Structure 1
Amino acid sequence: MKYLEYKGYTGTIEYSPEDNLLYGKVLGVMGLISYEGETGKYLEEDFKAVVDSYLADCRAEGKAPMKPFKGSFNVRIPSTLHQKAALKAMESKTSLNNFVAEAIRNQVEKESD
C-alpha cells in the first residue's frame, strides 16, 4: 500500500467499490481526519486540504498540532526478550535504544527490497 505525504503528515489510500470512491485517513493524529476523491488527483487535493484545515484550526485555537511519528513509542515485550536484547546491546557497546532502532531499521529495509 502506498501513502500520501504532506507537511509531515501521512495518509492512507483506500478504495470503496460500493461507492466507486477513493478515500483515506490521516495517520498518527487523535480523532478521525478523513478525505476522499473520485480520482487520485482529487484524493490528494482533499488530503492536502484537510491537513491545511487541521493546521489552521490548531492555530485558531492556540493549540500545537499533533506531530505524527515523533520518534518515540513504547514497546511491550516479554521480560526474557527485554533481558536478551539489553545484554546483546551491552555486548555491542551500544544503548538498548540504538540496538532496537537498528533492528527495526534492518527489518524495514529488508521489507522494502
Structure 2
Amino acid sequence: MTHFNYKGYQGSVKVSVEDHCLHGKIEFIGDLVNYEAETVSELEKEFRLAVDSYLETCKATGVEPKKPFKGSFNVRIGRELHEKAAKRATDIGKSLNEYIKDIVKTDTESHA
C-alpha cells in the first residue's frame, strides 16, 4: 500500500530519516493538509484525523472541500498530436474522449 484511503481521500506515506518519523499529506487536492507520526498505525490514525479536521474546517468556514479525481482533466499535447489522435479516433468510430479513455484504461489495467 502506498496510500491510505478514507472518505474518498488518499494520503501519502513518507519517511523522514533526518527526523526519525513518518509523515504524509492528503494527496490530489489543492489544499495542503499534513500529518505525521512515529508508526504506520499512528500515521493512519493521524491521516484520518486530518481528513476529518479538513472537512470540519471547510464546513465551519463555508468552503466547499476539494475532492480528488473529479473525473475530468485537461491535457496539453500540442496541435499535431491532438490532430493525429482526433483522426485516429474518427477512423475507429470513437469520440476523442472515448479513444483517450480507452487508452488510459488499457494502460492502467495492464500495470495494476
Runs (4+) off by over 2 Å = none
Contact 2:23 2:35 in 1 (8 A): yes
Matches within 5 A, 1:1-113: 2-112=2-112
1:11 counterpart SS class: strand
- Report the aligned-residue RMSD: 1.2
Q: Matched residues, percent identical?
A: 45
User: What is the alpha-carbon distance in structure 1 between the residues aligned to residue 5 and residue 51 of structure 2?
Assistant: 10
Question: Which 10-residue stretch deviates more, 22-31 or 36-45?
Answer: 22-31
User: What is the alpha-carbon distance in structure 1 between the residues aligned to residue 104 and residue 91 of structure 2?
Assistant: 19
| Structure 1 residues without counterparts, runs of 5 or longer | none
The TM-score with structure 2 as length reference comes to: 0.93
| Structure 2 residues without counterparts, runs of 5 or longer | none
Query: Amino acid of the residue matched to residue 65 of structure 2?
Result: P
The count of aligned residue pairs is 112
Task: Deviation per CA, 1:17-45: give whole Å up to 9, x if none.
Answer: 11111111111222311111111100000
Task: Deviation per CA, 1:61-106: give whole Å up to 9, x if none.
Answer: 1221111111111100021111111111112211111111111111
1:83 counterpart SS class: helix
